[in-house]
A and B are shown apart, each in its own frame.
Chain A
């Protein structure tokens, strides 16, 4: 174990926000990812099929409230009003949190692009992984989530991690 040398009182002191602990945390998160779906369009019916053993080997349990989620899955086209709502949901999520954009709609507006001033999702919140397809199949989404896991283990930043939140992670 990577503990700091003893201080004057003779007790071991754990490093605050050390890389080592961060690694453990990341590995624990990856073992059991808890996604939350922001549904505005048709892709969510493909995502839902990940909950069954027919489509994927590992069954994923989706969270019913965004506060309990690690990963925000956004599907559907985004305009300004919907974008504000995504922002709200993202702000309500606890740390650590990541974002996956699913389908063509959050990137380019999809088939209904030129109408109603669609805007890319990345204008509102940071996006870690984007899965392309209209809609992407369940196995594609599974692959995308696995890519995110690698991304997390490789040291993807905790989104919007300010000075106050750094204390939250300290042991």
Chain B
């Protein structure tokens, strides 16, 4: 795989095929993101790590175990188990190393590790990538795309505090509509 292909693949997954804004995966964590930007970015980064881990495990299992034996159906539960183990490991590490941070994150840790973005990315990328390296690059790009979406959602939310919108659009409807407009902008990158 040459350099231009890698760049196209990565940029495509960050902008044109952004996990959240173009593929509609993992919207709930974005909508429920904490008010502090640092927490939001940290949780999205964790989500990104989960996406990478899930994609790689899913790719390896699919290539060497499931596809040769016709067991593709088992991909979903295996990714779920993998992410649960990742979450337990993370929980253990954070409880040992940064107990205050763990307490602050609370149940959000689960929301940000085991969500539709993680499983969706693992399933989609396993189907669309040809090699393990390609899957690694694609999942890393997808993780960066998650961070970008988290930043966009945060800035939109902080902007909404000052807008004069109808009360019936307060909250979820406004968040969705503005996310839709951003997604419409990102479709400009489809080439």
> Do A and B assemble together?
no
**Taking beta carbons and an 8 Å cutoff, which residues of A are in contact with B?**
none
**Taking beta carbons and an 8 Å cutoff, which residues of B are in contact with A?**
none
